[in-house]
Amino acid sequence: MSKTTAPAGRLTEADIHVVDQDEMKKALRATLLGNFMEWFDIGVFAYVMTYITLNFFPLPDPWGGLASFATLAVTFLVRPLGGLILGPLGDRIGRRKILAFTIVMMSLGTALIGVLPTYAHIGVAAPILLVLLKFVQGFSTGGEYAGAATFIAEYSSDRRRGFWGSFLDLGSYLGFAAAALLVTMIEVLTDDPQMESWGWRIPFLLALPLGLVGVYMRSRIKESHTFEASQDASQRQADAAIASGVPAPSQGMVAQIRYLLRRFWPQMLIGAALVMCAQVVGYALTTYMPTYLTESLGYDTLHGNALLVPVLLIVSLCLPVFGMISDRVGRRPVMLTGCALGLLTAIPAFLLMMMGHVWSTLAGLMIVGIIMMFQVSIQASALPSLFPTESRYTAMGLMFNIAVALFGGTTGFVISALQSAIGSDLAGAYYIMFACLVGGIGVYCMKETAGHNLLGSMPTVDHEHEIQNVLKTLDANDKYDLDTMPIDQHSR
């Protein structure tokens, strides 16, 4: 619906956007695939790291393995740069265009790793090219999740934002599970020489057809109504400023970032705390556990990877349930419950794994997965709600990617260092507990956003019949704040 002027500061029926359910599902499928690919790449690289080391870093132990870990870390270290550049572009030219660009870059970067000559063929140029491709992947992923979360948050209705947003992380963890399953199947079907020679390349090459499907899907979705409404409002303000002889304020990248840091620094810190909690638990399960299961608990690589697959599948499929619950009871209660569970059950989870039985290891992994579900399922709905429409992509790109680079990508390294320092296999549990404590503080400081209109956006509903209820309850419903909506000031 097109926006009309609201008399006396009131909204009219035309001010309230009704979600096109078919377009919503198309947008969700297109963004979900990108998140799937992002984590598929991370998972594939983590699971074939032994073969990466053999082919690109033929150095004495432990330097070859450390070089491979450092190469993986490039993906995370470059993410803030991607967010810094792609976020402002997304706020300026649109979310859809940037998301099409990121999936092209991710798929090409991943597929090219699959055809990269090894150290034996081109010498030191091989690891240099590998690092450059990881740089490309990290740059593109810096705009992927932030853009996808922003896009879906703006596409969905206020009442169901938690449910729809949770599907993004469902795609992420299904991507990691698919990587684990695919690498495990290839290892079963090949012998060691075949795996070392060409088997490790197969998962990387699959990224190309996935990327082509993703580009096709993203080229067929519409821009979010919320973004377009914000652009229209900004244009009206600029036209009014020109007509009055007042120069329009700078909308450059630097000015936008300065504005965010000056006006929304508390929200940036709150968001970083939420991201730290979710990402530490998530990366502890996905990237640290394969190493923990093999090096500390004595599982071979094949069985260690296989144990994670059912846990990741169950966790992924349950995420929308937690997102739906957050729409009903609120984001804060769900996340606070997860933080409390992390503090209470992280140590028992690791003690179960240390018992050495398959059933107890699965139970321990599942507990960590449940802790993660309470946090990860809310990320895509809670984080975009912290920031205004005109700067949401920029804020998400900065806050999310810096937090992931500092705390998510370093989780395995920090836990391993802590384990060596204190000499305890419970180091992972301690770090999860610390992250849950930080996350709990962030949740405590965060305002509830379930059911609220996004900052800088009009109310959004699922069906036409909901419009009248919104208008009737506008004055009594504290979830709708006219001050955050793009209503012309003279009409208030």
- Say which CATH number the domain at 132 has: 1.20.1250.20
| Average pLDDT along the chain | 84
Tokens of 380: 């895509």
Write the CA distances from 44 to 196, 395, 408, integer angstroms: 14, 29, 17
Give the model's pLDDT for residue 84.
Answer: 86
Phi, psi of 452 (to 5 degrees): -85, 155
pLDDT surpassing 50 at residue 470: yes
| Residue 147 is assigned to a structural domain of this protein | yes
pLDDT digits (tens, 9 = 90+) for 49-81: 888 888 998 887 778 877 887 888 788 888 888
What's the structural domain count of the chain?
1
| 44 occurs within a structural domain | yes
Q: Which of 63-67, 301-305, 321-325 has the lowest mean pLDDT?
A: 301-305
Cα angle, residue 432 at apex, residues 402 and 412 outer, rounded to 5°: 60
**Residue 9 within any structural domain of the chain:** no
The boundaries of the domain holding residue 200 are 14-224+254-456
CA distances for 349 relative to 140, 293, 367, angstroms: 35, 13, 6
In a domain, 435, yes or no: yes
Give the Cα separation of 474 and 192 in Å (integer). Answer: 66
**pLDDT beyond 50 at 117:** yes
Residue pLDDT, tens place only, 23-49:
888 888 888 888 888 888 888 888 888
What is the pLDDT, as a whole number, of residue 488?
Answer: 54
| Neighbour-count burial of 158, counting CB atoms closer than 10 A to its CB (0-12 exposed, 13-18 middle, 19+ buried) | buried
pLDDT at 327 over 70: yes
473 is a domain residue: no
Query: Where on the phi/psi map is residue 333: left (φ > 0), alpha (ψ -120 to 50), or beta?
Result: alpha
**Residue 60 within a domain:** yes
Dist. CA 2–CA 20, nearest whole Å: 14
The secondary structure of 148-212 as a DSSP string is HHHHHHHHS-GGGHHHHHHHHHHHHHHHHHHHHHHHHHHHHHS-HHHHHHTGGGHHHHTHHHHHH
Report the relative pairing of strands 17-18 and 460-461 from DSSP bridges. Answer: parallel
Question: What does the pLDDT read at residue 490?
Answer: 36
Q: How far apart are CA 270 and CA 383, in angstroms?
A: 9
* pLDDT exceeds 80 at position 254: no
pLDDT bin (cut points 50, 70, 90) of residue 5 is very low
Question: Cis peptide before 62, with omega less than 30 degrees from 0?
Answer: yes
Structure tokens, 384? 């975009």
Give CA–CA dist 153/170, Å, rounded.
15
Of 114-123, 188-197, 209-218, 409-418, the least confident: 409-418
pTM: 0.85
What SS3 class is residue 60? coil
Q: Express each pLDDT in 132-150 by its tens digit.
A: 999 998 888 888 888 888 8
Higher pLDDT residue, 295 or 161?
A: 161
| E strands present in 365-439 | none
Q: Is the peptide bond before 60 cis (omega within 30 degrees of 0)?
A: no
Q: Say whether pLDDT at 237 is over 80.
A: no
Residue 492 inside a domain? The answer is: no
At residue 155, the pLDDT reads 87
Report the percentage of the chain scoring pLDDT > 90. 31
209 falls within a domain: yes
Please report which confidence band the pLDDT of residue 7 belongs to, taking 50, 70 and 90 as the band edges.
Answer: very low
Q: Looking at residue 460, what DSSP letter applies? A: E
Q: Provide the CA 327 distance to its chain's centre, in angstroms.
A: 19
d(C-alpha 118, C-alpha 74), whole Å: 19
- Percent pLDDT > 70 in the chain is 90
